[in-house]
Amino acid sequence: MFVGRYPAGRTWEEAVLVTESDSDGATPAPGGATEDADAPRRRSDYSPWNWLLIIAVLIPLLTPLYNYDKPRLFGLPLFYWLQMLFILLGVGATTIVYQLGKRRG
């Protein structure tokens, strides 16, 4: 357990209140209550493009589709070189989702 002071000589409770402060620098009331506490909060990181990431997760899980020895590429069985292509698929999907999500932003 951490014993001591948090940055700028603050206690844990003070550090939490500072990090939860509004953008104008006002500190919320004790207990974390704010004037909009009952208002539903919409997640800012939601994007329908995030569903594209499912492709990069589900396709490699379908091993019966590519659990074969032939065709070989540079001496590697289909199973192995297709795994390498799945890495590229995941990187590509992640890049697309990141770039399109960043534009919404």
Q: What is the pLDDT of residues 10-57, one digit of tens each?
A: 666 666 665 555 445 555 555 555 555 666 666 566 778 888 999 899
Q: What is the pTM of this model?
A: 0.53
- In the chain, domain spans: 1-39, 48-104
Q: How far apart are CA 100 and CA 105, in angstroms?
A: 9
Q: What pLDDT score was predicted for residue 93? A: 94
pLDDT band at 9 (very low <50, low <70, confident <90, very high): low
Q: Please provide the distance, in angstroms rounded to a whole number, between the alpha carbons at the two ends of the chain.
A: 38
Between 60 and 12, whose confidence is greater?
60
pLDDT of residue 22: 46
Report angle CA 57, 84, 49 to the nearest 5 degrees: 35
The pLDDT assigned to 101 comes to: 83
